[in-house]
């Protein structure tokens, strides 16, 4: 299993990277909008400094035609670093660009996946990751579990090295379902992971254990200062 953060927020990345077992971060223009008008290339260089090269950084292109997508990708690779995963939406132009970039050894994440056929076509480009949009599919009555399952079955059946990196989550139940359906990786806003451990039942259990301990050993004592 791989967890990534679906964020470009430097403070969140710094705060949560040592808590959650992340293997990278993903972004798209809407995620970048939340950060305001950032110094785009330096912002991601800073994220690279924080994460190092053993973790992956996925940045989405903006251009919609193949020529523009290639130019966006080359600019990202030149101005940030050449290990960046280029996120490309699975459209006709996107598929063409993915194939061209893959033939040059560029890391590719096929994104904006809502349907099985998008996944299957992206597999054929040799993309490293495919990103189905879990919550967005649910919003329009498409079952994301089926899309993930079909993709996972084809990966296993034909031995593709591509991994499913499910994205677009609103709650932790969706995240768990993505893994159960065959996703190898998920990208989640750190807040959703944070909230998942803040549930009252967990806090109550810990509070009860602390009270029981304090009843015997007193308030100031932990195991380390017995
Ligand atoms: C991945 O980076 C996707 O672009 C992203 O998760 C989409 O998520 P949203 O539906 O929350 O915008």
Q: Give residue-wise pLDDT tens across range 52-106.
A: 999 999 999 999 999 999 999 999 999 999 999 999 999 999 999 999 999 999 9
Question: Whole-angstrom Cα distance, residue 152 to residue 168?
Answer: 18
Q: Which residues pair with 87 in a beta bridge?
A: 60, 109
Residue 170 beta carbon below 6 angstroms from any ligand 1 atom: no
Mean pLDDT on 35-43? 96
For a pLDDT cut of 90, what percent of the chain falls above it? 99
Residues 6+ apart with CB under 8 A from 8: 25, 27, 31, 32, 34, 35, 38, 43, 44, 47
How many angstroms is it from 68 CA to the middle of ligand 1?
22
Confidence of residue 160 (pLDDT cuts 50, 70, 90): very high
Active site residue 87: yes
Q: Whose CA is nearest to atom 11 of ligand 1?
A: 168
- What pLDDT shows up at residue 207? 96
Q: Best substitution site from 2, 27, 30 to test ligand 1's pocket, by max atoms within 8 Å of Cβ?
A: 30
How many angstroms is it from 117 CA to the middle of ligand 1?
19
Please work out, in degrees rounded to the nearest 5, the angle formed at the alpha carbon of residue 153 by the alpha carbons of 151 and 154.
65
- What pLDDT shows up at residue 82? 97
Q: Best substitution site from 167, 186, 193 to test ligand 1's pocket, by max atoms within 8 Å of Cβ?
A: 167
Catalytic residue among 2, 14, 87, 96: 87
Question: Whole-angstrom Cα distance, residue 166 to residue 163?
Answer: 9
- The helix/strand/coil state of 119 is helix
Question: Which two tokens mark 84?
Answer: 């960046």
Q: Which residues pair with 60 in a beta bridge?
A: 87
Alpha-carbon torsion angle 40, 56, 108, 155, nearest 10 = -150
Smallest CA-to-CA distance from 4 within 143, 128, 159 is with 128
Question: Which two tokens mark 62?
Answer: 């903006």
Q: Whose CA is nearest to atom 8 of ligand 1?
A: 168
The CA distances from residue 32 to 20, 44, 62, 135, in Å, are 22, 11, 12, 19
Q: Structure pTM?
A: 0.95
- What pLDDT shows up at residue 80? 98
């Amino acid at each position: 299993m791989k967890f990534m953060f679906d964020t470009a927020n430097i403070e969140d990345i710094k705060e949560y990277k040592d808590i959650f077992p992340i293997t990278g971060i993903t972004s798209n223009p809407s995620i970048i909008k939340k950060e305001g008008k950032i110094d785009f290339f330096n912002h991601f260089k800073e994220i690279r400094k924080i994460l190092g090269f053993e973790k992956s950084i996925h940045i989405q292109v903006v251009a919609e035609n193949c020529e523009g997508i290639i130019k966006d990708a080359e600019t990202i690779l030149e101005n940030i670093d050449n290990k960046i995963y280029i996120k490309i939406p699975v459209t006709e132009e996107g598929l063409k660009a993915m194939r061209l970039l893959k033939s040059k050894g560029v890391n590719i994440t096929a994104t904006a996946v809502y349907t099985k056929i998008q996944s299957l076509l992206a597999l054929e480009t040799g993309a490293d990751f495919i990103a189905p949009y879990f919550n967005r599919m649910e919003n329009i009555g498409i079952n994301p579990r089926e899309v993930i399952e079909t993709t996972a079955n084809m990966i296993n059946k034909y031995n593709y090295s591509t991994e499913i990196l499910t994205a677009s989550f609103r709650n932790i139940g969706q995240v768990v379902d993505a893994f159960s359906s065959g996703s190898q990786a998920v990208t989640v806003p750190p807040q959703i992971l944070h909230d998942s451990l803040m549930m009252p039942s967990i806090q109550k259990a810990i509070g009860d254990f602390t009270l029981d301990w304090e009843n015997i050993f007193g308030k100031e004592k932990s195991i380390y200062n017995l």
